[in-house]
Amino acid sequence: MERKKVYLITFVIVFTLVVTYLHYSIFRQQAPHVILEELYYIPVLLGSLFFGLRGALLTYLFVSAFYLPYLFGEWVSNTLDLIDRLLHLFFSGIFALFAGSLIDRGRKYQKQLEKDRYLAGLGQIAATIVHDLKNPLITILGFAGRIKTGKTNVDKAIQTIIDSADSMQKIVNGTLDFAKSIRLELKEEDIMNIIHQACDSCRLKAEEKDVTLTVDVPGHPVIARIDCLYMQRAIINLIDNSIEASLKGQAVTISAWSDKNEVVVKLKDYGSGMDRETLENIFLPFYSKKDKGTGLGMAMAKKIVEGHHGAIHVKSRPGLGTEIIIALPYRS
């Protein structure tokens, strides 16, 4: 960003100098001056776009300093010329003030909008966590009360309490894990090996659901700079979701390929698919319509992929399955 600012300032200075030089070198020709005067609006506009009101006014003062000599001496042939140039100076100042104010107002509005979204997101996450913790907590209290009154099988009640406590612990650990910043240890790894390892980790679950897990990847290594453990975790989360969405006898396919710029991993299932609401909120932390799980799998996968400067996209239609595409920089 700092480099862009330096380039912009350099452009404004050079552009202003060139326009000024043309002004003074052809001052006896009337027609070109009309065009050259209008060109002074360009650096003022750029100053306002990148630096707001302050930048617009500073750019205006800088440009005007080069334009001022054009108001005096041999540059002015009559009173109308002087009035015309004074008006140009006045209106360019009004333009700088107006444009800079609009940019500043737009930025303040954008910051407030982002703040409101952040607070709304925190509220939604807090409400979801409370809701997810409430059910196992009610179960624990209920069965603890039954044990106290002797109205239930003690062993069964204790096991139910343990299971509910485990669910609460998973929710808490998942929340803490997602909140932590990801520190990637990037190394040159064969992503095809990572895909095979992830599939092996999910194969038992697929067999239990009678879902066929198919891997279609190149036979040769595809090297990319990635964190092996984090990327494997992201792919496992995605495969698990695909298996859970699939019905008995259906298939989940994991394919991959590479080109000069990126490595692409695609997961395809033919399960229940997602409606529009689910698709729009799929990467929102704790958002889930499933009975089990914390709703952090997709959000965590997105966080990991974007931590690798990659991108993840989801296509889905109810009853037609889901397709997830991960694009990672090739040897980034």
In this model, does residue 12 exceed pLDDT 60?
yes
Pairing of strands 251-258, 212-216: parallel
Q: What is the predicted pLDDT for the residue at 30?
A: 54
pLDDT in tens, 198-240: 888 888 888 888 999 888 888 788 888 888 888 888 898 899 8
In this model, does residue 325 exceed pLDDT 50?
yes
Q: What is the predicted pLDDT for the residue at 323?
A: 93
Q: Which residue would you say has higher pLDDT here, 296 or 108? A: 108
Q: What is the rounded CA–CA span in Å between residue 198 and residue 252?
A: 13
In this model, does residue 58 exceed pLDDT 80?
yes
- CB atoms < 10 A from the CB of 74, how many? 7
Query: Nearest to residue 135, comparing CAs of 158, 156, 165?
Result: 165
> Do residues 314 and 322 touch, judged by C-beta distance below 8 A?
yes
pLDDT in tens, 307-318: 888 899 999 888
Stretch(es) of the chain classified as CATH 3.30.565.10: 187-329
Query: Nearest to residue 143, comparing CAs of 166, 131, 165, 160?
Result: 160
In this model, does residue 60 exceed pLDDT 60?
yes
pTM of this prediction? 0.55
Burial of 162 (0-12, 13-18, 19+ CB in 10 A): exposed
Query: Nearest to residue 308, comparing CAs of 325, 327, 324?
Result: 327
- What residues contact residue 81 under an 8 Å CB cut-off, 6+ apart? none
> Do residues 324 and 312 touch, judged by C-beta distance below 8 A?
yes
Residue 163 sits at φ, ψ, to 5 deg, of: -60, -40
Q: What is the predicted pLDDT for the residue at 210?
A: 92
- Residue appearing with tokens 């965590």: 300
Tokens of 312: 């993840």
Burial of 215 (0-12, 13-18, 19+ CB in 10 A): middle
Q: Which residue would you say has higher pLDDT here, 73 or 9? A: 9
Q: How far apart are the first and last CA of the chain?
A: 21
Tokens of 13: 């200075």
Q: What is the predicted pLDDT for the residue at 326?
A: 92
Q: What is the predicted pLDDT for the residue at 1?
A: 54
Q: What is the predicted pLDDT for the residue at 332?
A: 45
Report the CATH architecture of 187-329. 2-Layer Sandwich (3.30)
In this model, does residue 35 exceed pLDDT 80?
no
Residue 203 sits at φ, ψ, to 5 deg, of: -65, -40
Residue type, 55: G
pLDDT in tens, 76-109: 667 777 777 788 778 888 888 888 888 888 888 8
Q: What is the rounded CA–CA span in Å between residue 108 and residue 127?
A: 28
Q: What is the predicted pLDDT for the residue at 294?
A: 59
Q: How confident is the model at residue 123 (pLDDT cuts 50, 70, 90)?
A: low
H-helix or E-strand spanning residue 258: strand 251-258
- What residues contact residue 244 under an 8 Å CB cut-off, 6+ apart? 209, 290
Share of the chain above pLDDT 70, in %: 83
